[in-house]
Structure 1
Amino acid sequence: MLTDFLLRIALAGALGGLIGIERQLRAKEAGLRTHILVGIGSAMFMIVSKYGFADILMQTHVSFDPSRVAAQVVSGMGFLGAGTIIIQKQIVKGLTTAAGLWVTAAIGLVIGSGLYEIGIYGAFMTLIVLEVFRQISNHWVGHHHLIEIRLLPESVPAVLVALQKMRIRPGHIKINQRDEDESKCELILDVILRPKQSVDKLYEALMSVKGIKRIDIN
């Protein structure tokens, strides 16, 4: 049993590492080490939950539910996942990484309980969703970008006209007045570029607008 337990912990960490590699290649908040630790930790919690209380349960007049340990892993992952979610310029980021951590914990629990096939299947399904479906989404739906522009206030309408000519409709628009220099402001745009629309062309179109001092496209 000891060898089997060690194998479960190692396999859970390895499967979590596969997901972590994909996230780290995308420069996300939680990467390789975080996902490995989540997989190892959840597998250990599951082993303790399933086998760690066997000696106590054999005693008379003792009755409790050891599966509550595994249940607390699910709720506890909410706090860890929340740490990867950030709000930047009123745009929420990190939801996919948080969901990946949550699934990694589930994989660790499944492997810890001895259901190897289910855990391996879940890990590869997660990788398919993160990588293959990302490419499908970018190809058919488009890619999300956050644009931050420092410009003169009177140049804001010209920026919106330039986007309209490119058939780009911002999903979110915010204008911040810079306190240190009232003659300049910051324009924040949340846009989705379709497959045929490139970042280079967007940058050229915006830079052609007079009054723009700086453009950051994320």
Structure 2
Amino acid sequence: MLTDMLIRIALAGVLGGLIGMERQMRAKEAGLRTHILVAIGSAMFMLVSKYGFADMLNDQHVSLDPSRIAAQVVSGMGFLGAGTILIQKQVVKGLTTAAGLWVTAAIGLVIGSGMYEIGIYGTVLALVVLEVFRRLSHLLIGKHHTIVVFLKAKSVPLVLLVLQREGIRYGHITVVNRNPETGLCELSVHVTLSHKTKDAHLYEKVMEIKGVQSLELI
């Protein structure tokens, strides 16, 4: 029984590490070590939940609910996942990594309960979603970016006109006055760039507009 428990913990760490490796290769907020620790911890919580109180079951007026500790892992992962979500220039980032940590915790719980096939199957599906679906999304839909332009206020409509002419889909627009005296402001535009869009070409078109001082693609 002890050997089986040790195997469950090790396997959970390996499966969590596979997801963490993919996240670290993408330079995300939570990487290899974080995912391994989440998977190992979840598996250990599951083992404690199932077997940790067996010596107390013979006592009178004592009953065991093996799901109580495991259930707390699900809610507790919300706090850890929230730590990976960042807001940069009004753009939310880290949601996929937070979801990956949540799935990793589920894999740890599944392996800890002894359902090896389900845990391995879940890991394979998670990797397919993170890698294969990412490429399909970029190919069919495009990549989401934020264009940040420092320019004169009167040049804002011209920048948006260039985006329309280039066939670039854009969404939320924010204009912040940085220097009322000089008329300089910061324009932030959420855009979706297809694989056909050339960053250098877009940069040249925007920088040609009179009043534009700088452009940054995030």
Report the equivalent of 1:102. Answer: 102
Give the stretch that moved more between structures: 56-65 or 36-45.
Answer: 56-65
Give the TM-score of the pair, scaled to structure 1: 0.95
Give the stretch that moved more between structures: 44-53 or 178-187.
Answer: 178-187
Q: Deviations over 1:19-54 (max 9, x none)?
A: 111111111111111111101110110010011011
In 2, Cα distance between equivalents of 1:2 and 1:51: 11
In 2, Cα distance between equivalents of 1:12 and 1:199: 41
Structure 1 position 181, deviation (Å):
6.2
- The answer (yes or no) to whether the contact 2:85–2:92 under 8 Å persists in 1 is yes
- Is residue 175 of structure 1 aligned with residue 175 of structure 2? yes
Give the stretch that moved more between structures: 153-162 or 195-204.
Answer: 195-204
Report the equivalent of 2:189. Answer: 189
Report the equivalent of 2:113. Answer: 113
- The answer (yes or no) to whether the contact 2:11–2:111 under 8 Å persists in 1 is yes
Letter paired with 1:98: A
Give the stretch that moved more between structures: 173-182 or 10-19.
Answer: 173-182
Report the equivalent of 1:198. Answer: 198
In 2, Cα distance between equivalents of 1:43 and 1:60: 29
Task: Please list, as runs of the form range in 1=range in 2, the aligned pairs for 1:23-172 lying within 5 A after superposition.
Answer: 23-172=23-172
Partner of 1:62, secondary structure, is coil
Q: Which runs of 5+ in 2 are unaligned?
A: none
Give the TM-score of the pair, scaled to structure 2: 0.95
In 1, Cα distance between equivalents of 2:56 and 2:201: 68
